[in-house]
Amino acid sequence: ARGPVIAIDGPAASGKGTIGRALARHFGFAHLDTGAIYRAVGHAVRMAGDDPADPAAAEAAARALTPGQLDDPALRGEAAGAAASVVAAIPGVRAALLDFQRDFAAHPPGGAPGAVLDGRDIGTVVCPDADLKLFVTAAAETRARRRHLELSRRGDRVTEADVLADIRARDARDAGRTAAPMVRAGDARLLDTTEMDIDSAVAEAIRLTEDAL
Ligand code: C5P
Whose Cα sits closest to atom 19 in ligand 1?
35
Cα–Cα distances (Å) from 49 to 42, 44, 54, 73, 110, in that order, read 11, 9, 11, 19, 36
Ligand 1 atom with the smallest distance to the CA of 122 is 21
Q: Is the dihedral of CA 107, 43, 123, 204 positive or negative?
A: positive
Instruction: Say what the ipTM of the complex is.
Output: 0.97
CA–CA dist 68, 48 (Å, integer) = 17
Ligand 1 centroid, distance to 97 Cα (angstroms):
12
- Smallest CA separation from ligand 1 atom 12, residue: 85
Any residues with Cβ below 6 Å from ligand 1, and which? 12, 34-35, 38-39, 81, 84-85, 88, 119-122, 170, 174
Q: Is 12 annotated as a binding residue?
A: yes
Tell me the pLDDT of the chain (213 aa) as tens digits. Answer: 579 999 999 999 999 999 999 999 999 999 999 999 999 999 999 999 999 999 999 999 999 999 899 999 999 888 998 999 999 999 999 999 999 999 999 999 999 999 999 999 999 999 999 999 999 999 999 999 999 999 899 888 899 999 999 999 999 999 999 999 999 999 999 999 999 999 999 999 999 999 999
| CA nearest ligand 1 atom 3, residue | 12
